[in-house]
Amino acid sequence: MERAVSSAASPAGSPLVGVVMGSSSDWETMKHAADILTDFGVPFEARVVSAHRMPDEMFAYAEAAQGRGLQAIIAGAGGAAHLPGMLAAKTPVPVLGVPVASRHLQGVDSLHSIVQMPKGIPVATFAIGTAGAGNAALFAVAMLAHHDPVLREKLAAFRLRQTQVATAMTEELR
Ligand code: RP5
């Protein structure tokens, strides 16, 4: 299993999106977010910022996020996944939570930990696993595209390609 978290996978420029996770073991899931951001040319950074093993670093990361120009933070964690909620508590930057599949409860624990935020501090929560990581990145792209016509065109082209692929699937039935 690939456990190294890439720190240089981003296109050039100050990061607009932070991709953070509780462990390098989450990277197999979270790299699907990084891949989407790379494809769209969105500058991002990828880091391990464990909530319970690096609480001070996690707070520092959240406190610096807005000043560093981050527009969104995609946070993935597994088990008692408090990383997205704690980051959201410490920064006004929108946090997109990705429940990572856990060994014993297959990520249902992660999902409930992230999605059941008490009213007042929202975390936008995505599907368990790679679909959630990819969709969190696409959601971040959509947020950025709101003020970026080039990104908007790329997103429209991405969706058109999906439609074309799905449309061509009928041929496979013959
Ligand atoms: C969480 O514990 C991480 O987000 C990861 O999903 C899980 C297991 O971590 P490792 O034991 O693989 O480091 O903090």
Hey, what CATH class is 17-148 in? alpha beta
| 14 touches 69 (CB < 8 A) | yes
**Residue 56 contacts by C-beta under 8 Å, 6 or more apart in sequence?**
none
Nearest CA to ligand 1 atom 2: 78
CA-to-CA distance for 61 and 70, rounded, in angstroms? 11
> pTM for this one?
0.93
Atom nearest to 25 CA in ligand 1: 12
Q: What is the 3-state secondary structure of 101-158? A: CCCCCCCHHHHHHHHCCCCCCCCEECCCCHHHHHHHHHHHHHHHHCCCHHHHHHHHHH
Atom nearest to 22 CA in ligand 1: 4
Mutate to test the pocket of ligand 1, among 26, 30, 82, 102 (most ligand atoms within 8 A of CB): 26
- Per-residue model confidence (pLDDT) at position 11: 60
Nearest CA to ligand 1 atom 14: 22
Question: How many angstroms is it from 25 CA to the middle of ligand 1?
Answer: 6
**Strand (E) or helix (H) holding 168:** helix 149-168
CA-to-CA distance for 138 and 135, rounded, in angstroms? 5
Least Cα distance to 54 among 90, 80, 21 occurs for 21
SS3 at position 40: helix
Nearest CA to ligand 1 atom 13: 23
pLDDT profile of the chain (174 residues), mean per 10: 44 89 98 98 98 98 98 98 98 98 97 98 98 98 97 98 96 88
Atom nearest to 110 CA in ligand 1: 6
SS3 at position 82: coil
- Per-residue model confidence (pLDDT) at position 174: 80
Q: Which residues line ligand 1 (CB under 6 A)?
A: 21-23, 25-26, 50, 77-79, 100
